Amino acid sequence: MLKAILFDISGVLHVDKQPIPGAVELIAKLRQQTVPIRFVTNTSRSTSAAILHSLNKMGFIVEQADIFSAPVAVKQVCEQRGLRPYCLIHPELEAEFASLNQQNPNAVVLADAAERFDYEHLNKAFSLLINGAPLLGIGRNRYFKTGGKLQLDAGPFIQALEYAADTEAEILGKPAAGFFHAAVDSLGCKPEEVLMIGDDVEADINGAMEAGLQACLVRTGKYLPGDENKAGQAFVAESVVEAVNSVFFQSASLV
Ligand SMILES: [Mg+2]
């Protein structure tokens, strides 16, 4: 029986800051019914504080503690391990890592850095990696969608650096099981009691299912026709509204 829900944010709750029709009311209804929910995102062009502000501005009832962001997970690992990262990240994300010592780096953190993915920055990351620094990644997302267009995400650049330095990144956001389990633990549930709703078939759907959760792919955001064929036993819904009403509540009422 499903008891709680994890939501991806971009492409599921909103597209380009326009809420998916019915999504704001849906979250309000779940809050009213005290269904345990969390939000799990690999978004790395803004801080978790900015993500919260943006969601609230769109009308979503969300608090900071409800948001599990991949950059925050990476920052926590840097703190725990005493790493001084070279951060190849977007300027808008710098504030998230500002409290870390980044002098004389002994690690590389890579997120979606947009225009900073140039030869100079990538080569600096490479020079650290080839000398043994670990590579920490937000996710392996191949692309994201904004302004109606698919755009390169961090995944292709992580793979390029792994190839060049003959190393393997440690991924700390989706699809890493540890990331899903941290959110599931905060809900006080077992993985199989939690439904992950996402638009990224690899990071959201297959990642969640490998971590023992149930998952529902939505046909909004970055969804491309045929993605359901890569989604294994996952549920498929037109939107987050259908995912909650037809999958989550159906399952919850079956038992
Ligand atoms: Mg998404």
Q: Which domains does the chain have, with CATH numbers?
A: 4-42+176-254 (3.40.50.1000), 71-171 (3.40.50.1000)
Percentage of residues of the chain with pLDDT beyond 70: 98
pLDDT tens column, 187-196: 999 999 999 9
Residue 210 in this model has a pLDDT that exceeds 80: yes
pTM of the predicted model, to two decimals?
0.93
Query: In which band, very low, low, confident or very high, does the pLDDT at 251 lie, cut at 50, 70 and 90?
Result: confident
Looking at residues 61-89, what average pLDDT do you find? Answer: 97
Residue range 37-64: mean pLDDT, rounded: 97
Distance 236 CA to ligand 1 centre (A): 15
85-97 mean pLDDT: 97
Mean pLDDT of 24-52: 97
Question: For residue 86, what pLDDT is reported?
Answer: 98
Compute, in angstroms, the gap from residue 122 CA to the centroid of ligand 1: 25
Calculate how far, in angstroms, residue 201's C-alpha sits from the geometric centre of ligand 1: 9
Q: Is the peptide bond before 134 cis (omega within 30 degrees of 0)?
A: no
Average pLDDT over residues 121-143: 97
| 176 alpha carbon – ligand 1 mean position (Å) | 15
What is the CA(51)–ligand 1 centre distance, in A? 13
| Ligand 1 centroid from CA 48, angstroms | 15
Residue 253 has pLDDT above 80, yes or no: no
What residues pack around ion ligand 1 (CB closer than 5 A)? 8, 10-11, 199
Q: What is the pLDDT of residue 27?
A: 98
Give percent of the chain with pLDDT exceeding 90. 96
255: pLDDT strictly greater than 60 = no
User: Does 252 have pLDDT greater than 80?
Assistant: no
